[in-house]
A and B are shown apart, each in its own frame.
Chain A
Amino acid sequence: MTDQESGARVLAIVERGYRGALEKQFFDELYLATELHRQLGGLDILLRGPAVTYGLRADRVPPLRIGNRTVDTVSDPRPGLRALLEAGVTVWADEPDLAALGAAGNPDRLIEGVRIARDGELAVRWPEYDMVCFL
């Protein structure tokens, strides 16, 4: 499916993964992406760098012990990614970065619905979007 077929007007690139899990908790970059998708007429997301691992199946982020409290509300990118997929967002994971992390060549490890982007595949499509941004 091309971007034009997806109808998305914005390409959001998530490159720097795992930021502020304890400070941001629910309001991470994928939570913001959900709202941008709603407001800006559709979003495609490209996972790149360490953030490609957001697209891999994994257990829930475990709770943390802080003082005498169990904190079970730290950021967890995979439920956020699934919410985006359910909302109709097309999610791509960059193949070279998957390979660099040893996660290429096994599509079963990807969350259902996440597509693999070949090297440079989305870069040539940037002109098709109204906006390309980093989240």
Chain B
Amino acid sequence: MARKIPHTDVLITLMGAPHASDRTTSALRLTQSLLERGASVQVWTCGYATLLTQRALGPDKPRNLADWERAYPSTATLAEELLTAFPDRLYWYGCRFCSDDRGAFDHLPQVVLRPPAGYGANVAAADKTLLVGVI
């Protein structure tokens, strides 16, 4: 049976690689602002953006040789803290093909991997859809 996608005000689709520009930074700032204003949001990651929620790094990025004692949160930590801070108003989906295609696995348990053919159902469940970046 097809998964029921909860309705949200906005769907933000992260298409671009997180290191290619600062669109991912902007999109996550936008997500935070929408949630703080009471909106509901779903994030769908495609391409290399699927790597954002991999747990392989653990809570922090590797150490900074120039600032050894400082901690730098992994993107999985940031996604997890967003999901924890806004329960029932933020949903995080990932494209299963893009994730498999890049060897990404062991995502945060809150992340729902979806087939590419299911994307339209997510768009239909949102009042507005933003596509950010290119794959």
Q: Tally the A-B contacts, defined by beta carbons under 8 Å.
A: 75
Binary per-residue interface labels of chain A (49-91) against chain B in the complex, 1 for a CB within 8 Å, 0 otherwise: 0000000000000001111110101100000000100000000
Of A22, A67, A71, most buried by chain B (CB within 10 Å of CB) is A67
A79 to nearest B CB, angstroms?
10
Given A18-B22, A19-B19, A20-B24; A69-B29 close (CB under 8 Å): no
Judge if A129 is at the interface, Cβ distance under 8 Å. no
Binding-face segment, A7-15, A24-32, A39-47: A24-32
Contact among B18, B73, B81 with A68 in the assembled complex (CB-CB below 8 Å): B81
Q: List 12 A-B contacts (CB under 8 A).
A: A19-B22, A20-B20, A20-B21, A20-B24, A22-B28, A26-B61, A31-B66, A64-B29, A66-B81, A66-B82, A73-B70, A73-B73
Residues of A within 8 A of B (CB): 16, 18-27, 31, 34, 64-69, 71, 73-74, 83
Enumerate chain B interface residues (CB-CB to A < 8 A): 18-22, 24-25, 28-29, 32, 36, 52, 61, 64, 66-67, 70-73, 75, 78, 81-86
